[in-house]
Structures are given as C-alpha cells and as structure tokens.
Chain A
Amino acid sequence: MSAATASPDQTPDDGVVAPRRGATTWRRLKRNRLSVAGLIVLAVVVLLALLAPLLPLIDPAATNPANRLQPIGSEGHLLGTDHLGRDLLSRLIWGGRTSLSVGVFATLIAASIGSLIGLVAGFFGGATDNSLMRGVDVLMAFPYLLLAIALVAVLGPGLVNAMIAISIVNIPFFARAVRGTTVSLVSSEYVDAARALAFSRLRILFREVLPNVMPTIIITMSTTVGWMITETAGLSFLGLGAQPPTSDWGAMLGAGREFITRAPHVMIVPGSAIFLVVISLNFVGDGLRDALDPRLK
C-alpha cells in the first residue's frame, strides 16, 4: 500500500489495496478460534462498560454498611456486596469503564510517544539514534512498577497520574520495537525511490515509513494493552490509582484483600474480570500478530 504512494501515478491503487489487506487480516484472524473468543468477550465487556449509565444499576457509591459482605447471588445484589455494602455488580461495570479507558488511553499515549521516538531514531540514525535510544535504555533500566510508583509519588495519587506513569514506563517497549522495524525499512527500495524523487525527509518518514511500521505498532499495542490494564490495577491495588469512591478493578481487588478468608467473592469478582479481559486481549493480540505479520509467528 505504501509502496503505491511512492510514485504519484499509482495513487489510484491506494483505495483498492488497503481494504484488501484489511480483509485478509480479518480472514486470518477469524481462523484463530481463541482470538474470536477473546473478541467476543471484549465486545461484551466494552458494551457493558459503554452502556453503564443506561443499565438499571444501583449507584456504585451508595453504601449500606449494615448490609455488607453479602455473598454472590443475594437478593438485589447479583454479585453480592463489598465491605461497605456497595453493590459489586454495579461497581464492577462502572469500574470496568475506568479500568478499560485508563488502559486504552495509557496505551495510546505510550504508543504515540514511543513510536515517534523509535521512528525518528531509526530513520535519522547516528547521534540522534544514540541519544534517543540511550534515554530509552535509562527508562528501561528501572523496574517498571518501581518507576511507576516513583512517578505517582511525585505527581500525587489519582487516576490521571497513574495513567501518565503507566504510559511513561511503557514508552521504551514501543520505541525499541518501532526503531528496529524502521531501521530495516530505511534501506528499502521504495524509500530510496522516494529519496530520488527529492521528497522531504519528513514526508518520507510519515508517508513512506510510518504506514509500513503500523503493523508493528498495532501488534505491540494489542499485546501491551492487557499488560497496561494489569499495571494500572496494580497501582490502584497499592492505593496509588483511583481515589474513593471511584470504583476501579485494581482498587476493588485491593480492598477485597482484607476479606479473603471471610468473603472471598469481594476479591474474586474484580480479579476474574481483570483475568478475563487481559487474557482475551492477549488472545486477540496474538491473533492480530499472526494475521498482520506471519513472519513473527
């Protein structure tokens, strides 16, 4: 598709090639049963999260301490209640909105910044490459959770700050993957051709190289978004993420820890949700990787 844009007389192909490739990807993805199962689970979860305001749910912040730690299946509370008597089903669905959107946004931020660093480093090479990638190495040298905790300590606790911290610690993964692909593309013939046509370097970078790096970015995103949801949950579990009464799966898990012997469902409910979503994301990510780039299989 991008090779097509290299010479102006081939531009009509653009509209034809792109959907064909998309269709191939979809067909390949469909053959992977685990990915399809993952997609279905994700679709349901996302739909529930999006529709939360419309669903007949109890207010997730409404406490009723006298009615605390009700088991799964109790009257009026399908998934029981937590340590303050709040409805777990409602908190799970509302919490899903928080956890999913934080995971997705963190991924988008990390992907944008990381990919830009990788593209620039790989494309320009030399001193630019060295200085950028050494910076990335420094980021990578810290244990990711420690770095995230340190960042939250500086920024103050809260969901937005947790998201920023998670984004920052994940920048290196994108930067490294994208740089590797970029380096191999820079010496390809269509880039040479674009150079011969005297296109500006920026144009070559964003119109020729970037589209061909996209599969790498998408694969990295799909495999890390689950990881980021887990990391955000980890920060919330430690009390550094969502502030009460906002529900968020990690914070729910953290609060349930104290009742693990007396009322394990308080922990099992959000724990299973995280598990289901993350494993579905990983299945979909694996499927996407196979479909987009068979060489990586």
Chain B
Amino acid sequence: MLATALVATLILAACGEDGEAGSDDPVVVGQVAEPASLDPHVVTAVNDFRININLYDGLVRYAADSLEVEPALAVDWTISDDGTLYTFELREDVEFHDGTPFDAEVVKFNFDRMLDEDHPYHDTGPFPLAQQFYGHLAEVRVVDEHTVEFELSSPFAPFLSNLAYPTGLLISQAAVEAHGEDVGRNPVGTGPYVFSEWRSNEHVTLERNPDYWDGAPEVPGVVFRPITESQTRVNELMSGGADMIVEVPPDDVAALRDDPDFVVGEQAGPHVWFLILNLAEPPFDDVRMRRAINMAIDKESIVNDVLQGTATVAHGPIAEAFGAAYNPDIDPYPYDPDAARELIEEAGYGDGVEVTFYVTEGGSGMLDPVPMGEAIQADLRDVGIDARISTYEWNSFLDEVNAGIEGKADMAQMAWMTADPDTLPFLTLRSGAWPDEGGFNSGYYANERVDELLEAAQVEVDEDARIAMYHEMQEIVVEDAPWVFVASWKQNVAMSPRIEGFELHPSFLLRLHDLRWAD
C-alpha cells in the first residue's frame, strides 16, 4: 500500500514538473474519503456534502459567513402567520446541467421522491435524513410554473434552515428518471460546476458551468481526490498533488500556519465533541459524579496540547458557532481536580471506581479520538476513576453506542455537526429520543422541563422566544451534566497561496464557486 502511495506521489510530482498549475488547470481538492454517492437526498456525510454543494443548488442557502438563510433558487418566500404554509417564488432563468428547465414541478418531484412512499421514484433511495428534516411536510403544491407551496402538518421552526441543508439540494427530474438509483453516480444539478467524471478511489471531476445563474466560476474545474490517510493528504499538498486539503491533522496545522508556502484557514463550526454518560447505572446515575468528571478533565489541555489549538472548549450542548442560540451566560465547569475529588468522596466513591469507556478509532468529526481518550483516562486516574478503554472501529462503534450503552459502558465518545441548534439536543437529550424510541439519547438522560422546552422550540415561530427556550435548556443541561462537554472543532483547510476567493463556512461545507488562481 505504501509502495502504491509512493508511486502515485512520484507520478503526480512528475506531472507537476512541466509547469506550475496555471489558470487553465482545475483546482485539486484532497478530500478525506471516497464519496458514498452524489445524490443529495441519499447522502449523510460532510465528505459528500462538500462535493454536492458545488454541483447543486437548493431553494435557499446559507449566507456567505453565517448560518442565516438567504435566497438561492427561490428568489423570495412568505410564511403564513401560523407557520404552516410556505410559499416560494422561484428563479425563472435557471436550467439544469442537462438542459431541462428548473420549475415548480421539479421542486415538487424532489420532495415527493423523498417523502412519499408511493412515489414512483421513492425506491431510488434510501433517504435517511428526509423524515428528520422534512417529515412535517404534508404536501407540496405547484401553484404556477414558478410558484410552489409547502404545507406543513404542524409548525416546525427549523424548516427553512433545513431546506438550506445539503439534503435540500435539488436534482434534475430527467436525470432521476433516466438513471434511477444510479443517479448518485450521474448527478445533474443547477450548481456552479457540472459533473464530468467519477473514477472510484481516484477522483471526482467537475467542470465550470458557464451559464451559472449566479455568475460562472473563474477556474475551469475542480477535482476531488479521496485521500483517506491524513498524513498522506499533507504530503500531497506539499508535493503539489493537491492544491487544497481539508481536515489537516493538528500538528500539521501548527506547522503549516508558519509556512509561507501555504495558507491555512480555520473556522469554528457548529460542532460539539462530548462524552455520553450512562445515567441508567452507577456511578453516573449520581449527578455529583457527573459534575465531578466534568471538573476532573483538563479540557484546556486537550484543545491546546492534544489538538494543538484546532478546537475550543465546549461549555454546553449548543456550540458557540450557533450565535444567538448559544447561551453566553452559562457557567462552564472549571478544571478543578480537588473539587472533583470532594464530590466523588461525597458520592461515596472515594475509594476509587472502575468505569468502561468506549473510544472510537476515528470517524467524521471525532477529531483525534484515541489520544483524546487516553488524555481523559489519565485525568480521571488522578481523581481515582479507573477508566477501562475499549476501542472500536467507527461503524461498529456507532452500532454499539447508538443502541444505548446500558450494561455495556459507563461513558462513550461522540461528536455531532449540525446546521440548526435544534437538531442535536432534539435527537440526543429528550426522553422521547431514548434508543428504544429510535433516537440518539444513548445515555438515557431525562428531564421533563428539557423535553417541554425542546418540543416547544420546534413549533415556536417567534425567533426570540425560541432562543430564550434554548438558553433555558442549556442552563438545565449543564446543571444536570448528562455529558462531559469537551470541545468544539475549528474546521480547517490548508491550501496553496495561489488560490484566492475561498472562505470556510460555518456549515462545514466547501463552497468553491468564487475560487480563482492568483496571477
């Protein structure tokens, strides 16, 4: 395997020698993995979103530097007072890459395909995120060619924001009809780049869309290369095999920051890295133990030393990057091993206690899980908690943890990246989201007030009232400490200084529309 990598590097290095990449060359992006599919309604991984966001458009999109929603294929919209009827005015001059027009029928087709089990193309799925994001949708109605109405069965505040999520990107009806399930390998959108070629485990190539409604891109195209091994990604950037790489390992971020030959971009995103605690069994059924463990772990050292400043300390269940929804007044747990020891003593575990700690080897958003797990283990040892680590490969880890950790483990690592402050707590902190109810509350936290607040926030259309609910929810959750809140990741890219016009976006997406080569 090493030999192949070396040969590949040599070939690419050789290609680079016949001249620096010029304005006629596509930009090569080093991705973390091979995409699963390029069908926007099917995929769930950020890795796939990063390509799709350049191929497709949605009705709405995130603003350039925030998670606020702005017009995209819909030029304008109105929401009825009761929050159940959304009317979108569509852009009139847009065509899909295959030449078919973008109109209200296509919009209806896209959502019916995901949500209507009797739809002729519903079997081209599965569509794992559709119910969570658009399940409140009762009907999509075509009013005229360029007007479409969405009727919700009940008000659902995150709806508009969910439309901006990459699951809401719109695909050509003709392409779905022509390719069926294989449309994921033959994607057709309206976006700034047109799909050209996908060679498995080699690259996905996109070409510029000269007729893009929001202005044609300046670079001739973009190539996404899957480079799984993080160190290989860095080597590819250095040898010229990639012009831009994502998810740079912490130590390389530190070194590349000081290297004038490269530009490093970093931005905090809506990400929370935490430890799920098992509230169903001792010792963490005792809130004193849960608070103690929050104080026993040196989170500053984890983000600054282990992660080399590529993350910030998380204070609660909602990431700071969510802006208004984040409660700046919550009182974070300080690093205080002495206070932790006192609480442990009080809880009756002064003579030491053994806990099982599930650690994953890797996984999207998990950062550096094994070293982080080891650092946590060492901090816990100092306060008399003997954490026994069990490591699992990512997919088996998810199987174990998502099914609930009762009877198996006392604590487990987890991380979420979400686009709306609602998604994470709704899926992981409600008592209605316990694993046997199909949710992700794997540690069995239950608090009636939190349930009330989360359910009320989903249907609250008034933004200020909704934010107040989130603030109260955060205070309660931090007080109850069902998790150890550890870190919020700063996503990063490293790239050649010759690339201009690129900004990281808080959504963790990679929008390459405005890329250009410096002269």
Residues of A that sit less than 8 Å from B by CB = 61-63, 65-66, 68-69, 83-85, 153, 156-158, 239, 243-245, 255, 257-263
CA distance in complex: A84, B376 (Å): 11
Residue of B nearest to A82 (CB): B371
CA distance in complex: A244, B359 (Å): 10
Residue of A nearest to B378 (CB): A63
CA distance in complex: A255, B361 (Å): 11
Check if B100 is an interface residue, CB within 8 A of chain A.
no
CA distance in complex: A151, B126 (Å): 32
Q: Which of B298, B368, B391 contacts A157 (CB 8 A)?
A: B391
Q: B203-241: which residues lie under 8 A (CB-CB) from chain A?
A: 230-231, 234-235
CA distance in complex: A85, B375 (Å): 10
With A244-B359, A262-B255 as known contacts, state yes or no: A65 contacts B375, CB within 8 Å.
yes
Shortest CB-to-CB span from A86 to chain B, Å, is: 9
Check if B251 is an interface residue, CB within 8 A of chain A.
yes
> Are A84 and B306 closer than 8 Å at their CB atoms?
yes
Shortest CB-to-CB span from B505 to chain A, Å, is: 27
**A-side contacts of B361, CB under 8 Å:** 239
Check if B295 is an interface residue, CB within 8 A of chain A.
no
**A-side contacts of B231, CB under 8 Å:** 257-258, 260-261
With A84-B371, A260-B231 as known contacts, state yes or no: A245 contacts B378, CB within 8 Å.
yes
**B-side contacts of A66, CB under 8 Å:** 301, 305
Shortest CB-to-CB span from A115 to chain B, Å, is: 34
CA distance in complex: A84, B301 (Å): 10
With A239-B370, A244-B373, A244-B391 as known contacts, state yes or no: A262 contacts B378, CB within 8 Å.
no
- Chain B: number of interface residues, binned into ranges: 20 to 34
The 6 closest A-B pairs by CB, nearest first: A65-B305, A63-B378, A244-B374, A239-B361, A244-B389, A65-B301
Residue of A nearest to B373 (CB): A244
**B-side contacts of A85, CB under 8 Å:** 305
> Are B234 and A261 closer than 8 Å at their CB atoms?
yes
CA distance in complex: A5, B318 (Å): 80
Shortest CB-to-CB span from B251 to chain A, Å, is: 5
With A258-B249, A262-B251 as known contacts, state yes or no: A68 contacts B370, CB within 8 Å.
no
Check if B182 is an interface residue, CB within 8 A of chain A.
no
**A-side contacts of B251, CB under 8 Å:** 69, 83, 258-259, 262-263
Residue of B nearest to A67 (CB): B305
CA distance in complex: A84, B368 (Å): 12
> Are A68 and B389 closer than 8 Å at their CB atoms?
no
CA distance in complex: A239, B361 (Å): 7
Check if B458 is an interface residue, CB within 8 A of chain A.
no
With A255-B371, A257-B231 as known contacts, state yes or no: A62 contacts B378, CB within 8 Å.
yes
24 contacts between A and B (CB under 8 A): A61-B377, A63-B378, A65-B298, A65-B301, A65-B302, A65-B375, A66-B305, A84-B371, A153-B396, A157-B392, A239-B391, A239-B393, A243-B388, A243-B391, A244-B373, A244-B389, A245-B374, A245-B378, A257-B231, A260-B231, A261-B231, A261-B234, A261-B235, A262-B252
B272-300 interface bits toward A, Cβ cutoff 8 Å, 1 = contact, 0 = none? 00000000000000000000000000100
**B-side contacts of A69, CB under 8 Å:** 251
Q: B283-333: which residues lie under 8 A (CB-CB) from chain A?
A: 298, 301-302, 305-306
> Are A243 and B377 closer than 8 Å at their CB atoms?
no
Residues of B that sit less than 8 Å from A by CB = 230-231, 234-235, 249, 251-252, 255, 298, 301-302, 305-306, 359, 361, 368, 370-371, 373-375, 377-378, 381, 388-393, 396
Shortest CB-to-CB span from A185 to chain B, Å, is: 43
Shortest CB-to-CB span from B275 to chain A, Å, is: 15
> Are A84 and B374 closer than 8 Å at their CB atoms?
yes
> Are B370 and A255 closer than 8 Å at their CB atoms?
yes
**B-side contacts of A68, CB under 8 Å:** 305-306
Shortest CB-to-CB span from A203 to chain B, Å, is: 48
> Are A84 and B392 closer than 8 Å at their CB atoms?
no
CA distance in complex: A157, B361 (Å): 12
**A-side contacts of B252, CB under 8 Å:** 261-262
**A-side contacts of B301, CB under 8 Å:** 65-66
Shortest CB-to-CB span from A221 to chain B, Å, is: 30
CA distance in complex: A189, B30 (Å): 70
CA distance in complex: A69, B361 (Å): 21
Shortest CB-to-CB span from A87 to chain B, Å, is: 13
> Are A63 and B389 closer than 8 Å at their CB atoms?
no
Shortest CB-to-CB span from B199 to chain A, Å, is: 26
With A61-B381, A239-B370 as known contacts, state yes or no: A84 contacts B375, CB within 8 Å.
yes
Shortest CB-to-CB span from A91 to chain B, Å, is: 12
> Are B378 and A84 closer than 8 Å at their CB atoms?
yes
**A-side contacts of B306, CB under 8 Å:** 65, 68, 83-84
Further 12 A-B residue pairs, CB within 8 A, beyond A68-B306, A69-B251, A261-B252: A61-B381, A63-B378, A83-B251, A83-B306, A84-B374, A84-B378, A157-B392, A158-B390, A245-B389, A257-B231, A260-B231, A261-B231
CA distance in complex: A83, B231 (Å): 15
Q: Which of A66, A84, A156 has the most CB of B within 10 A?
A: A84
Q: Which of A158, A244, A259 contacts B370 (CB 8 A)?
A: A244
**A-side contacts of B393, CB under 8 Å:** 239
Residue of B nearest to A243 (CB): B389
**A-side contacts of B390, CB under 8 Å:** 156-158, 243
Shortest CB-to-CB span from B154 to chain A, Å, is: 44
CA distance in complex: A22, B56 (Å): 78
**B-side contacts of A255, CB under 8 Å:** 370-371
CA distance in complex: A261, B232 (Å): 11
CA distance in complex: A197, B377 (Å): 66
**B-side contacts of A244, CB under 8 Å:** 359, 370, 373-374, 377, 389, 391
CA distance in complex: A61, B380 (Å): 12
CA distance in complex: A31, B222 (Å): 65
Shortest CB-to-CB span from B5 to chain A, Å, is: 13
CA distance in complex: A245, B387 (Å): 10
**A-side contacts of B374, CB under 8 Å:** 63, 84, 244-245
Residue of B nearest to A63 (CB): B378
CA distance in complex: A83, B308 (Å): 11
CA distance in complex: A85, B378 (Å): 11
CA distance in complex: A63, B302 (Å): 11
> Are A83 and B371 closer than 8 Å at their CB atoms?
yes
CA distance in complex: A261, B254 (Å): 13
